[in-house]
Amino acid sequence: FKTFFAALLALIIFSVLGIMILVGFIAAASTSDKPVIGSNAVLVLDLSNVFKEQSIDNPFNAFINKKENDIPSLYDMIRMIHHAKTDSAVKGIYIMCANNPNGFGSSEELRKALVDFKTSKKFVVAYGETITQKGYYVGSAADKIYCHPIGGLEWSGFVSNLYFLKGLLDKLEIQPQIFYAGKFKSATEPLREYQMTDANRLQTSVWLGDLYTHFLAAVATTRHLDTAKIRALAEAGSIQTAHDAYANGLVDGLFYDDELRAYLNKQLKATTNASINFVHFGEYAKSVDFKQEGSGKMAIIYAEGDIVSGEGDNEQIGSDHFRTMIRKARLDKDIKAIVLRVNSPGGSSLASEVIWREIALARQEKPVVVSMGDVAASGGYYIASYGDSVFAQPSTITGSIGVFSMMFNIEKLLTDKLGITLDAEKNAPMADFPNATRQFTDKERSLMQQSVDQIYGIFKTRVANGRHIPMPQVDSIAQGRVWTGIDALRLHLIDAYGDLDRALASAASIAHLKDYSVVSYPAPVDKLELFLQKFKGSNASAIAKSYMQEQMNAEFICLKKIHQLKQIQGKAQMLMPFQLTIQ
């Protein structure tokens, strides 16, 4: 027993000391002096990073000296690029543009910031061994763009792939009982069709064509090329190698890594083999004061992810959580205006209404301006439509004003496949309604459709009142149809093109603020709390989830959607089509 308790005591002391040391390191990392980036700095924009609406620092970087792994938020990236224009320590920007998982709205904001940066006469150079089209979209804003001699450039046009589960459900004898309002509301199509309906194919071809035309026009402008010519190159499949891209003016040269570094050193007026002072934006964020300060105060509320009832998690818009945040900003007398940044495909209709109500209350007391990100559609548009002003990018995906509800009938799966039979006694005809183990009666189906139609009517009313559009016009542009920001401006679903800065400027103008500082909601998580969260989540399940998310193959997408379907059964939804994947 002495040996046992001595070992136990030693283990406890060791654990306590270890935790104290870790906490000390994290506290030191949080309070350390600003890093000095030095002179002749070249900022590194790695497009393979996903720039979310709010940044999350990785606390482990303090120990492994991997500061490039700290990924700033999209808005911080924009502000830092603007700040770097006048920072004498920064000589240029190097874009790693091989891959770009960010949406077109985010990419457009980055691209515009880079074009603006070039007015400083500092250099912008882009490089990728093999460059994807979305990587090229941002990279083509550079003064020069290069790729590897044996690499290449993807130049084949856009495609949106949809996965249909009806064949799987047929094999399992699962019957989806679906109710929807809006002939273009295609979110349920993967469950009720084997391929796109004519209506969905029409709307997809339109918004995909809008994005592609906008993409080509942007590339043609910065590369000084003819739009028709570069479109023809994609249609003919003319760009198959890096040499094809170079011969047709899509890239400026074919470089190996050492040749690229030599070129950068030439821009820096250094010797060919000199060490280059590369500074990642995560490190740059800690070394400079790029955030605006002023006597006034405005709030940015970031609404990113699916809209769900309750608190939600850090990747969702939980109605209870966001209602509380909006209310807090509304009741804070120091906050003179609210900017709602929406990046959401929608979700629960009830949760959307809960959030909308709090936005409506806030608008009665102070300006509420909306900025759309990559997507603000369906429930995302529901909460966005009531802003005093609404801004989006031409490549933002929005609209999808429609509603659906569903319930799976798994009776045959249980009886025919698994041999499970069910029985029940009820004292009213619909005591077990809704029920996933039997088919709906005609009356029950009628009630479900009435509920969907009623919520659809409320949705259209919210849009009509918020956007000051007559109801017949709302009905004509609703029907669940997806639009790009280009069409949204024409249809008055938004007020103007613009990024988050434009929305903040509009809110400041309405609130009569000459200068202002910004407070963000949800509040950033401190490093120690984040570390504990990561430590708590360091289990086999989290690792497996991370691996599957990185892979993002067809099997995982299907499994993820099945899980999502389980969560939304029997509840009215304002949700985008299941998967908008553009390649």
Q: Which residues are catalytic?
A: 185, 378
Q: Which helix (H) or strand (E) holds 91?
A: strand 90-96
- Distance (Å, rounded) from C-alpha 369 to C-alpha 398? 16
Q: At what angle do helices 540-551 and 554-568 cross, to 10 degrees?
A: 120
Q: What is the DSSP letter of 9?
A: H
Tell me which residue of 123, 142, 41, 125 sits closest to 90, measured CA to CA: 41
In the DSSP assignment, the letter for residue 383 is H
Q: Residue 478: name the closest of 450, 459, 453 by CA.
A: 459
- Please, is 465 exposed, middle or buried when counting C-beta atoms within 10 Å of its C-beta (0-12, 13-18, 19+)? middle
Q: How far apart are CA 269 and CA 462, in angstroms?
A: 59
Handedness of CA 200, 201, 206, 212 (dihedral sign): positive
Q: Which residues, at least 6 apart from 15, have a Cβ–Cβ distance to it below 8 Å?
A: none
Quickly count: other Cβ atoms within 10 Å of residue 547's Cβ.
10
- State which H helix or E strand residue 406 sits in: strand 403-409
The tokens for 183 are 């002939």
Question: What is the secondary structure of 470-507 as a DSSP string?
Answer: -HHHHHHH-TT-EEEHHHHHHTTSSSEE--HHHHHHHH
CA distance 258 to 263: 9
Please give the single-letter amino acid code of residue 205: S
Parallel/antiparallel/unpaired status of strands 316-318 and 335-344: unpaired
SS3 297: strand
To 5 degrees, how large is the angle CA 150–CA 156–CA 157? 145
Structure tokens at 181: 């309002």
Residue type for position 139: G
E strands in 305-388? 306-308, 316-318, 335-344, 346-348, 368-377
Q: Which amino acid would we find at residue 303?
A: A
